[in-house]
Amino acid sequence: MFVSDNLGVNASGNLTIGGVDTVALAKKYGTPLYVMDEDMIRRDCKTFQKSIDTYYDGQGLVCYASKAFSCKEIYRVMQSENMGIDVVSGGELYTAVQAGFDVTKACFHGNNKTTEELNMALDYGVGRIVVDNIYEMEHLNQLAAEKHLTAPILLRIKPGVDAHTHNFIRTGQIDSKFGFALETGEAMEAVKEALQCKSLHLCGLHCHIGSQILDTNGFEAAAEVMMQFIATIQKELHITIEELNLGGGFGICYTEQDDPIPYEQYMEAVSKVIHRCSEEYGVPQPFILIEPGRSIVAPAGITLYTVGGKKVIPNIRTYVSIDGGMCDNPRYILYQSAYDAIVANKADQPKDTKVTIAGKCCESGDLIGENMPLQACEPGDIIAVCATGAYNYSMSSNYNRLQKPAVVFVKDGTSRVVVKRETLEDLVRNDCE
């Protein structure tokens, strides 16, 4: 009935998340409102960790890709679940540190880390810095030498694998802005260069082929390519690659048309490739890291809106306007992403209309979706858009000078604010007089 198993309908006919009435949440905290199910987040963390333990004999680490959703509380949750994290900016790293996260279990990514960010990573003792290019490698080596430190690094490799997903979120092909290409010999030259850098320790390799991937084929192909490269390095340079980070990108169910594989199935399929290649190529099995983000937080989240105007254009479409839009969910205008939506206060009724949900920004493309099945709704109704826990709050903006919504966590039937709603005063806080 719903795209996420944490959603339900109570005796009042209202939508629930984690057993909590969403209409009551909208009334208590206002809208737009991000709502996250903490129990589901923790459950999915445990699912990934169990898979690492099962298929890699515990020789691995699950690193939450925090670009999907970043705030102090999510880092606290990850810390308590013994997770690693993936950060991609000084801001994410700083937030994690401020939340008390042990950043020795962090991977620091990015294709253009600034000097300030690299110094932060060194000073905080980040466990792995993922090097993207030769300039960054040489710069990091210099900064580490000045601090009399040895920086642990992974090299980001482009495995040349095409992930069957949107062009904007493919990352493993040769023309990606990320990493060193295998096909050109660039990757091997980067390995050789890293070994010459006295203030760097080459711990391993990293790859990432894309996001919202719904089958195992690309992941399996990438794993094989990377293990072949590890074998080549061992044969030609006589060194052992200790770690292999296979990235993330695991798809989720946004609508009934999506059919993602269970996470355990992905882990089993890829582990078979790793085990086979290790034996076939005669290389030790590396310590495995993975970086799920969307798959941990997206299904756990919904966004609540209040319906405003309703505009019927006969024989063309019906617009239903909400008090949010591209400022709190830019994925439709970026990727034409599809969502499932529910009138939260009529969740027990059939979806017998088709509407286009329009945001309030002054942009024609500010939509949540077009021709979406929905219960008949009127001004004042509450609309819930499902599976918005990833890349919504983290990509939100103040376009049109709109305030960013609050984020509420639900757990054990209770709710609490983890990110406050922005005020009008917040909007002008950094403006100069």
pLDDT tens per residue across span 293-305: 999 999 999 999 9
285 found inside a domain: yes
User: Are 93 and 205 within one domain?
Assistant: yes
Nearest Cα to 68, choosing from 85, 83, 52?
Answer: 85
The pTM of the whole model exceeds 0.85: yes
Residue 162 or 258, more confident: 258
> What pLDDT was estimated at residue 165?
44
- Looking at 275, 297, 319, which one is the last position of a domain? 297
Query: Which range marks the domain in which residue 207 is found?
Result: 38-297
Q: Average model confidence (pLDDT) for the chain?
A: 94
Domain of residue 60, CATH code? 3.20.20.10
- Looking at 297, 326, 342, which one is the last position of a domain? 297
> What pLDDT was estimated at residue 183?
87
- Give the DSSP letter of residue 402: P
Residue 163's pLDDT band (cuts 50, 70, 90): low
Q: Is the pLDDT of residue 164 over 90?
A: no
Least confident of 126-130, 257-261, 268-272, 334-338: 257-261
Looking at residues 392-400, what average pLDDT do you find? 98
Q: Is the pLDDT of residue 176 over 80?
A: no
User: Are 192 and 321 within one domain?
Assistant: no
Domain of residue 25, CATH code? 2.40.37.10
Summarised one tens digit per residue, pLDDT across range 178-211 is 899 998 999 999 999 999 999 999 999 999 988 8
Positions annotated as catalytic residues are: 362
User: Are 104 and 152 within one domain?
Assistant: yes
Residue 162's pLDDT band (cuts 50, 70, 90): low
Residue 212's pLDDT band (cuts 50, 70, 90): confident
User: Are 288 and 204 within one domain?
Assistant: yes
- Report helix, strand and coil shares of the chain as percent, to nearest 5: 35, 25, 40
Looking at residues 107-131, what average pLDDT do you find? 97
User: Are 262 and 328 within one domain?
Assistant: no
Nearest Cα to 163, choosing from 227, 207, 197?
Answer: 207
432 found inside a domain: no
> What pLDDT was estimated at residue 214?
86
User: Are 50 and 22 within one domain?
Assistant: no
Q: Who contacts 341 (Cβ-Cβ below 8 Å, separation ≥6)?
A: 357, 368, 369, 372, 374, 383, 384, 385, 386
Q: Is the pLDDT of residue 278 over 70?
A: yes
Looking at residues 369-387, what average pLDDT do you find? 97
CA neighbours closer than 13 Å in the CB half-sphere of residue 93:
26
Summarised one tens digit per residue, pLDDT across range 30-62 is 999 999 999 999 999 999 999 999 999 999 999
- Looking at 268, 297, 326, which one is the last position of a domain? 297
Q: Is the pLDDT of residue 166 over 90?
A: no
Rounded Cα gap, residues 74 and 401, in angstroms: 26
86 found inside a domain: yes
Rounded Cα gap, residues 196 and 189, in angstroms: 11
Residue 168's pLDDT band (cuts 50, 70, 90): very low
